């Protein structure tokens, strides 16, 4: 073990760098970063296992930061192992910098997750730990890794910590070690002013092993980490009692520690003397962006130790590969995000069924075809039909991760973050299911999945007012408009931030799932019906061939010669248009019917294709069970869209169809009105 004095000096070095970054940027959060320096220094210099020359090595330990505002601590720590230069630290929070205000996932630099919204980061760690357990069951010691998480008082207070703590304890995730930076200071108050709960007792009740230490005592931290790694059958929470602004000295020469004011602004604005503080920590105020020579040597030695460990590990891995060639190929394929060959056309769908049921049929196929797929549901698997995946697998449970299904209980936000954590870990394909209306609980995580460009799959059923008797609390109206905004938003790679698919019938659902599975660039939303839907009319080439055109985001389902009007919709409304069209054709009208499962994908098609599907010169009529704005950019005239501008109502869905104007007869009448305008 390293000398205590040297370890304290290294932690002080991190404090100087973190405080100086915030000072130079004129914004940021220095206090917590200074308080947490001792733990991260011990972790990175003596415990965290990684390959310095192969950052994406699947078997590495992973460190998930929850309080993203403590990025100065993370960047300063990663600078110690050569991931950031002093120039990078000086460019903190600046345009084009690799050190943004809150960390953004960058595995090459050691940043395992984007963090900022408190509570999510440590929940990603729980998801990663679940993925690691799932993979360890299949690959054995190749996944003998530890997942570390770092959480602050704010993260503990966020409601999601309940879901993360409960499921981690319930599953006995002994590969998870979380450090709780308990400094009793928040941005606006002391913790004691807003909370009096017993954190240790709470986590102990969830089945965690608890260790309490002085968060600045190197020996205590070492002992705690060693103890945590030896625990079997439980995750470990290390409660480290730390001091906000550790080492800060005020302008009057007194202590500047334990102040609310040092949490969220440069120290100089909080009455702290930067010059005196840096000097007392062993630095040079005129040149604070320096790694002390002895600290540099400390980490140089650590990196060489890790290289030796990596060489020995690679030798063992090569021996394992030689003994298990098939598993070796599978291991590489899974972590390379390679997909197995799937005969999508062979999936037999029952006619005229709900798209949630069609999804269940596809999931049954995927459960035997995609061996590294994990599906979760928030206590709705027999209703959102994710239980189709259970046809060829079973649920995970403590001590048994041979199954590929996770029964989450009622915790939609936690579930979404767990799938994000699984995706961040790598080696698995993650999907989650619930009712569409409950996507409201998941919005913060959906946005983060989109920002991180993670290919998680969100399965949302009961997609419209046709939920029926359950009434407006369970009937999504505005939700599709909200989710489709992510189709209009670009991620940092220039792609639509999310692929949103609302298939129109059972066969289109198969194609939608194919698109979702093959989408490795962004999250995918599958929005599915509760009620049965009539199959759309098929051309001479067959319905499956027709539905493959859903890949273009929108396509012509059927068209009369020289149509007078284009009728367009997504989901179950397309079949309503098809029924209305029969009535209109009987009166001599000529029509073109278009299914638009993904407006965002359609917008990316060539102009010539878009013109063939939705000719600009032709009248249009849009039908949506959501807000009319869902189709406004395609129709161009809100008066030509029939949708729902109010919350829903409680009644059988066929009654609602009639009361709200969605029967084929009512829709046909509105189309005729549009034709006469």
Residues that are catalytic: 412
Would you report the helix, strand and coil content of the chain in percent, each value rounded to 5?
A: 50, 15, 35
Residue 341: Cβ within 10 Å count: 6
Please state whether 119 falls in left (phi above 0), alpha (psi between -120 and 50) or beta.
left
Beta strands in 612-658 (DSSP E): 619-623, 641-642
**DSSP label at 42?**
H
Two tokens, residue 457: 């799959």
Please list the residues that pair with 177 across neighbouring strands: 148, 236
CA-CA distance, 666 to 677, in Å (whole number)?
A: 17
CA-CA distance, 374 to 421, in Å (whole number)?
A: 12
CA-CA distance, 610 to 33, in Å (whole number)?
A: 52
Ramachandran angles phi, psi of 397, nearest 5°: -155, 165
CA-CA distance, 72 to 355, in Å (whole number)?
A: 48
| Half-sphere exposure at residue 137, Cβ-oriented, CA atoms within 13 angstroms | 17
Distances (CA, A) of 333 to 54, 63, 132, 337: 18, 24, 16, 6
CA-CA distance, 30 to 288, in Å (whole number)?
A: 14
CB 320 within 8 Å of CB 332:
no
CB 69 within 8 Å of CB 26:
no
Please list the residues that pair with 214 across neighbouring strands: 241
Q: Is 559 exposed, middle or buried (0-12, 13-18, 19+ CB in 10 A)?
A: middle
Sheet hosting strand 209-214, strand order edge to edge = 62-65, 147-152, 176-182, 236-241, 209-214
Contacts of 123 (CB under 8 A, 6+ apart): 160, 161, 163, 164, 414, 417, 418, 421
Distances (CA, A) of 436 to 412, 615, 666: 11, 32, 26
Alpha-carbon 314 to chain mean position: 31
**DSSP label at 194?**
T
**DSSP label at 345?**
G
Q: Identify the three-state secondary structure at position 159.
A: coil
DSSP 387-404: GGGGGS--B-BTTB----
CA-CA distance, 575 to 604, in Å (whole number)?
A: 25
- CA proximity to 16, closest of 373, 277, 365, 392: 277
**DSSP label at 328?**
H
First to last CA, the chain: 83
Q: For residues 282-291, b (16+ Cβ closer than 10 Å) or e, as one string?
A: ebeeeebbeb
Please state whether 26 falls in left (phi above 0), alpha (psi between -120 and 50) or beta.
left
Please list the residues that pair with 665 across neighbouring strands: none
Two tokens, residue 46: 């003596």
Q: Which helix (H) or strand (E) holds 671?
A: helix 664-675
């Amino acid at each position: 073990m390293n000398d205590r004095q040297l370890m304290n000096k290294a932690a002080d070095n991190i404090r100087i760098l973190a405080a100086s970054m915030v000072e130079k940027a004129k914004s940021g959060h220095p206090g917590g970063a200074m308080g947490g320096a001792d733990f991260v220094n011990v972790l990175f210099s003596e415990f965290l296992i990684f390959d310095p020359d192969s950052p994406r090595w699947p078997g590495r330990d992973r460190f998930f930061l929850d309080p993203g505002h403590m990025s100065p601590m993370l960047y300063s720590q990663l600078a110690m192992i050569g991931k950031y230069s002093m120039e990078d630290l000086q460019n903190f929070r600046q345009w084009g910098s690799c050190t943004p205000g809150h960390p953004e996932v960058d595995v090459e630099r050691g940043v395992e997750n984007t963090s900022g919204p408190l509570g999510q980061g440590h929940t990603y760690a729980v998801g990663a730990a679940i993925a690691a357990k799932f993979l360890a069951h299949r690959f054995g010691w190749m996944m003998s890794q530890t997942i570390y998480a770092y959480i602050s008082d704010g993260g503990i207070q966020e409601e999601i910590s309940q879901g993360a703590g409960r499921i981690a304890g319930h599953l006995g995730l002994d590969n998870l070690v979380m450090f709780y930076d308990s400094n009793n200071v928040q941005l606006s108050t002391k913790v004691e002013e807003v909370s009096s709960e017993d954190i240790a007792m709470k986590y102990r009740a969830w089945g965690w092993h608890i260790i309490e230490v002085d968060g600045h005592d190197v020996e205590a931290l070492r002992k705690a980490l060693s103890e945590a790694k030896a625990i079997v059958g439980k995750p470990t929470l290390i409660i480290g009692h730390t001091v906000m602004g550790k080492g800060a000295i005020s302008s009057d020469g007194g202590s500047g520690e334990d102040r609310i004011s040092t949490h969220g602004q440069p120290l100089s604005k909080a009455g702290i003397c930067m010059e005196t503080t840096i000097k007392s920590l062993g630095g040079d105020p005129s040149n604070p962006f320096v790694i002390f020579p002895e600290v540099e040597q400390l980490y140089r030695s650590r990196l060489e130790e890790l290289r030796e460990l990596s060489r020995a590990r690679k030798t063992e891995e090569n021996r394992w590969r030689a003994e298990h060639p098939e598993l070796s190929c599978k291991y590489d394929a899974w972590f390379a995000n390679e997909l197995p060959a799937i005969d999508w056309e062979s999936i037999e769908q029952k006619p005229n069924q709900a798209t949630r049921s069609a999804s269940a049929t596809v999931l049954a196929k995927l459960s035997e075809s995609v061996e590294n797929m994990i599906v979760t549901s928030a206590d709705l698997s027999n209703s959102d039909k994710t239980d189709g995946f259970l046809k060829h697998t079973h649920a995970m449970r403590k001590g048994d991760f041979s199954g590929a299904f996770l029964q989450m209980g009622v915790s939609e936000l936690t579930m979404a973050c767990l799938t994000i954590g699984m995706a961040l870990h790598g080696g698995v394909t993650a999907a989650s299911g619930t009712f569409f209306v409950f996507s409201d609980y998941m919005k913060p995580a959906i946005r983060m999945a989109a920002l991180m460009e993670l290919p998680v799959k969100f399965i949302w059923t009961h997609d419209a007012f046709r939920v029926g008797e359950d009434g407006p609390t369970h009937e999504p109206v505005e939700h599709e408009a909200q989710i489709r905004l992510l189709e209009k938003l670009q991620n940092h790679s220039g792609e639509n931030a999310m692929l949103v698919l609302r298939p129109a019938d059972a066969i289109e659902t198969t194609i939608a799932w194919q698109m979702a599975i093959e989408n490795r660039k962004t999250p995918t939303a599958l929005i599915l019906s509760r009620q049965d839907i009539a199959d759309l009319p098929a051309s001479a080439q067959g319905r499956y061939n027709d539905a493959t055109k859903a890949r273009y985001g929108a396509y012509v389902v059927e068209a009369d010669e020289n149509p007078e009007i284009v009728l367009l919709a997504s989901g179950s409304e397309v079949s309503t248009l098809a029924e209305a069209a029969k009535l209109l054709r009987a009166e001599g009208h000529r029509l073109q019917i278009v299914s638009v499962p993904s407006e965002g994908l359609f917008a990316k098609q060539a102009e010539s294709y878009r013109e063939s599907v939705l000719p600009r010169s032709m009248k249009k009529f849009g039908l949506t069970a959501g807000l009319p704005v869902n189709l406004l950019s395609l129709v161009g005239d809100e008066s030509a869209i029939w949708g729902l501008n109010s919350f829903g109502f409680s009644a059988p869905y066929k009654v609602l169809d009639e009361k709200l104007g969605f029967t084929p007869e009512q829709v046909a009448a509105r189309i005729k009105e549009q034709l006469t305008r």
